[in-house]
Chain A
Amino acid sequence: RLLRQRLAATACAQHFPMLRLLIAFCLIGIVLSSSLSFKIDAHKEECFYDDVINPGQKVFFAYQVTQGGALDIDVTVYDPSDDVLYLQERETDSRVLLVAADKGTHKFCFSNRMSTLTAKSVMFQIVVGDPSENPKKKTAVTATVDRSIMRMTEALNEIRIEQSYLRTRERVHRDTAESTNARVLWGSVVQSTAMVALSAIQMFYLKRCFETRRNV
């Protein structure tokens, strides 16, 4: 479930093998601490574009529906020639590592077509890997300090990934709880008023029935 991103500057490794520190530095993976969220209305489609500079580059794409209806959304990713790279229907959340075969502008579309009235809030994250990335090359890092630092950085990245997932889950729970709270209050108020009103109407109607009967 954990997806890792490695940012490996092999340019460094190839030309200056003595700069191990730099390599270790380069291997700091990209894990963003931010996921922007936006609102998508019913029957609308929102698209975002991102450029891929090198063919074969890895693109990390994650999204999560935090509010609205059944918390589902259709997602399509198009490559520069408008072919579908990734398609997922009615998912609440997903995390994928796509491989962009062509370079150019890729289109990431969210569609709320299945919703009749409710607008949805979606959190998403698109991270395009480093241009000089080469995931197959693993650099040999010998110094203890370098290895420690690398391990720590990887651990930190994993913490960040999990944290961002938990953040969005917490937000969804919070919205649910607040909605429950409001619903409990208003539902009960409506319920009580309805019951009292109905009983009163019932009674007065009955009284009227007997009165008219008497008149007759």
Chain B
Amino acid sequence: FFFGLQLFFMLRLICLLALCTLCTSFEFDLDANSFKCFIEELPENEEVRGSFSAASGYSQAIDMKISNPQGEVVVEAKGRDKDDFNLWTTLPGDYNFCFYNRLVAGVKQHSGLKRSLTFKLAIGQEAKDYEQLARKEHLKPLEVMLRMMEDGVRDVYSTYHYFKQREAELRDTSETANTRALWITIINTSVFVGFAFWQVNHLKRYFVTKKLIGG
């Protein structure tokens, strides 16, 4: 019974958390015939859960497109007023979460025509449903906490690992730029000097042929 009571209150808490205190959540206005994109850099093998919901809007349809770092659309929702999505990242990089406000055909656009969208996003550990996990595996509250921490640490590690790779690429880019700058300066200088010599030589020959100077 005691365990049940504990579980009940823990579940109540988790429900509170599920009201998106543990995720990104905000509202924004989207004008008719326009779009807004949000970019999030994600490592691979990361779980992403999110949802959007649009306030009432007169003859405006909302489309959502989520595209992966290579530009392919991985999740699409057309003309929905609200939707949930679940995504496992296969590639590391920039993911675009784009919302489009489409005016229904035949309606003329005028200023002030817009819809208010609420966007919720939970990444990695934030996306996990601990309530369900606790129920399924009969975990004590302490164990759930430990699980949360374990997932949190794993998140931190995978993000760190991904950014370590990016930093290595950054270093390579910087070194390439540096080497390039050096070689280009050398080539440039030799080209200028060579060209200057050729120029003077050419003019000299020209003047000699034109009998302006003796040669």
Contacts and interface: CB of A to CB of B under 8 A. Distances in A.
Interface of A: 7, 9, 12, 16, 19, 21-22, 24-26, 28, 30, 32-39, 46-50, 105, 108, 121, 125-126, 128-132, 145-146, 149, 152-153, 156, 159-160, 163, 166-167, 170-171, 173-174, 177-178, 180-181, 184-185, 188, 191-192, 195-196, 199, 202-203, 206-207, 210, 214
Contact of A28 (B9, B10, B145): B145
Given A181-B176, A184-B180, 19 more contacts: A21-B140, A25-B141, A32-B24, A33-B123, A36-B38, A36-B39, A39-B39, A49-B26, A125-B24, A145-B142, A156-B153, A167-B41, A173-B170, A177-B177, A180-B174, A181-B180, A188-B185, A199-B195, A203-B199
9 contacts: A12-B9, A36-B24, A156-B152, A167-B159, A171-B41, A184-B181, A195-B195, A196-B195, A203-B199
Contacts of B141: 19, 21-22, 25
B170 A38 contact: no
Contact of B145 (A24, A121, A128): A24
Contact of A49 (B9, B28, B185): B28
A80 B161 CA distance: 41
Interface of B: 5-6, 9-10, 13, 16, 21-29, 36-41, 97, 116, 121, 123-126, 140-142, 144-146, 148-149, 152-153, 155-156, 159-160, 163, 166-167, 169-170, 173-174, 176-177, 180-181, 184-185, 187-188, 191-192, 195-196, 199, 202-203, 206-207, 210, 212
B16 A163 contact: no
B143 to A, nearest CB: 10
Chain B binding surface SS class? helix
A25 B39 contact: no
B191 A214 contact: no
Given A39-B37, A196-B195, A206-B203, A50 B25 contact: yes
Nearest to A107: B27
B18 to A, nearest CB: 12
A48 B26 contact: yes
Contacts of B199: 199, 202-203
Nearest to A213: B212
Closest 10 CB pairs between A and B?
A181-B177, A49-B27, A188-B184, A36-B38, A48-B26, A21-B141, A34-B123, A37-B39, A177-B173, A177-B174
Contacts of B40: 34-37
Given A38-B36, A130-B21, A163-B156, A50 B26 contact: yes
A25 B159 contact: no
Given A163-B156, A199-B199, A30 B26 contact: no
A21 to B, nearest CB: 5
A190 to B, nearest CB: 11
Contacts of B145: 21, 24-25, 28, 149, 153
A38 B39 contact: yes
Contact of A166 (B9, B29, B163, B181): B163
Say whether chain A's binding surface is mostly helix, strand, loop, or mixed. Answer: helix
A174 B166 contact: yes
Contacts of B207: 210
A115 B176 CA distance: 31
Given A19-B9, A199-B195, A32 B126 contact: yes
Contacts of A153: 145, 149
Contacts of A49: 26-28, 116
Contacts of B196: 199
A23 to B, nearest CB: 10
B29 A47 contact: yes
A38 B159 contact: no
A141 to B, nearest CB: 12
Given A33-B124, A36-B121, A47-B28, A156 B177 contact: no
Nearest to A66: B39
A170 B144 CA distance: 33
